[in-house]
Amino acid sequence: MLCIVAGAGASLVEKLLRDPVVKLFNVRRAEAYTRLHKFLTHVILPEGVIDMGENVPKTDIHLVAPAATLVAGDKLHPAFVDLFMQIASRIHGQGNLLGKGKEYPSPEYLDFPLSREAGRFYKNGPPFLRRFLPFWAASLVDRLKVMILPLIALVIPLMKVLPPTYRWRMRSKIYRWYDELHDLDQYVNKNPTPEIIAEARKNLDAMEHEARQVEVPLSYAQELYNLRLHIDLLRQQIGSFRKG
């Protein structure tokens, strides 16, 4: 008796099946073997599947097939488990003469414990990103998730703080002039002499010149124009003191 472990499509197997001297052993108690040994499975080689013209084999043949097992050490990175499972499914998932498609790889007929990553693959399929991205890109995104989550926790509070800070920064460019306007107004009102009025007009001219150099977004332009209007109003008020 010759025992060979090989794939159903191996050239040696096909040659032996066509050899009139060689008889394929029909395992009559194949189902019993599979119940006693979990690594075995009962398969049927249908009549004529090898060669329909010569009707090889002549009848249905009951066989037992040992399961090919993908085994990896504990140190294998979990990312490679998903990759190996995808590759194995792509290569062997089409089926062959002894089995239908999508029967290998399979979580059945195992002598070794199934890893958590492999179990997740059988249950849910490949990770979402690896269905659409190359392995290196999906792995990079997985690593970045460790950094992105803390960043999100940091960005959310910043999103609440930044808009008020930005508004304060823009308005501070404009409102800082109002303290000077107020002080100048008080100074002139207390002692509106020609010298003080002339000095105040020079200060207002310099203030307006600097205000024209201020650049703010369009949404804050109205506040900048209000500042220039107030400078002009104070200038007119000082001018009335001069006429009086």
Give pLDDT tens digits for 136-147.
677 777 777 777
What span, in angstroms and rounded, lies between the C-alpha atoms of 244 and 238? 10
Q: How would DSSP label each residue in 101-132?
A: TT-SS-SSS-SSPPPHHHHHHHHH-S-TGGGT
Instruction: Name the token pair of 95.
Output: 């089926």
Q: Looking at the chain, which runs of residues are DSSP E strands?
A: 40-45, 61-66
Phi first, then psi: what are they for 181, rounded to 5°?
-60, -45
pLDDT at 38 over 60: yes
On whether the CB atoms of residues 158 and 147 are closer than 8 A, the answer is: no
pLDDT at 84 over 90: no
Please name the residues in contact with 194: beta carbons below 8 A apart, sequence gap of 6 or more. 242
On whether the CB atoms of residues 95 and 69 are closer than 8 A, the answer is: no
Q: How confident is the model at residue 62 (pLDDT cuts 50, 70, 90)?
A: very high
Closest CA to 188 of 202, 209, 174: 202
Closest CA to 211 of 157, 173, 170, 159: 173
How confident is the model at residue 183, as a pLDDT? 84
Q: How confident is the model at residue 7 (pLDDT cuts 50, 70, 90)?
A: low
Q: Which amino acid is at 181?
A: L
Q: How confident is the model at residue 85 (pLDDT cuts 50, 70, 90)?
A: confident
How confident is the model at residue 135, as a pLDDT? 67
How confident is the model at residue 196, as a pLDDT? 84
pLDDT in tens, 193-239: 888 888 888 888 888 888 888 888 888 888 888 888 888 888 888 87
Phi and psi based region of residue 95 (left: phi greater than 0; alpha: psi -120 to 50; beta: remaining): left
On whether the CB atoms of residues 228 and 211 are closer than 8 A, the answer is: yes
From 92-96, 113-117, 205-209, 218-222, the region with the lowest mean pLDDT: 92-96
**117 vs 178, more confident:** 178
pLDDT at 29 over 90: yes
What span, in angstroms and rounded, lies between the C-alpha atoms of 145 and 136? 14
Handedness of CA 67, 72, 74, 80 (dihedral sign): negative
pLDDT at 242 over 60: no
Handedness of CA 118, 122, 124, 128 (dihedral sign): positive
